[in-house]
Amino acid sequence: MAFLVMVSVRAEASELWEFVQVAKGNQATPTWAVHTGKAQIDDDGQHLEIFAYYDGDAVNGRDNPRDIARIVIRGMIGPDRKIQATGTLLNTDATPWKLSGHYTARTEHETWGTVRKTVTYKEIVFSRLPNAEFLGFLGREARDE
């Protein structure tokens, strides 16, 4: 039986999270456009700052996410882990938009070879305009038990 455990997890600036953006495509028939990438997430428990970029934007994976970010999201995390934020598309004339999201974390105990690990999976999800766009971020932190 699987269950969700809510924990307060502070995201460290050095870790990169997986990033996926799903939006309606621009073709004549209904389609979905999917873009993947990475994100640097800074979180002090109340304030959240996300710098997201797409796969292929980083040169040899050594670029600073703050320098190559295409999307920046800044907001507040409530005590219920709900997020109220503003998203900005950098280097465009697009108007910043309001986002609502949720930050969840769950901890699992896993065995990696002969080592027991405590793994915390962290998820941040934003949806924009019902069924129009989805932004998802997934991080993982593992430590020896």
- Give me the residue spans of the domains in the chain: 16-144
Which pair of structure tokens corresponds to residue 83? 């997020």
Provide the pLDDT for residue 59: 66
> Can you give the pLDDT at residue 1?
36
pTM above 0.95, yes or no: no
When the candidates are 1.10.357, 2.40.160, 2.60.120, 2.60.40, the CATH number that belongs to 16-144 is: 2.40.160
Token pair listed for 12: 């460290």
| CB-based contact 73:83 (threshold 8 Å) | no
**For residues 65 and 40, is the Cβ–Cβ distance under 8 A?**
yes
Q: What is the pLDDT of residue 136?
A: 95
φ, ψ for residue 65, nearest 5 deg: -55, -30
Per-residue pLDDT of the chain (145 residues; tens, 9 = 90+): 333 333 344 444 457 999 999 987 777 777 888 889 999 999 888 999 999 999 988 766 667 888 899 999 999 999 999 999 999 999 999 999 999 999 999 999 999 899 999 999 999 999 876 667 889 999 999 888 8
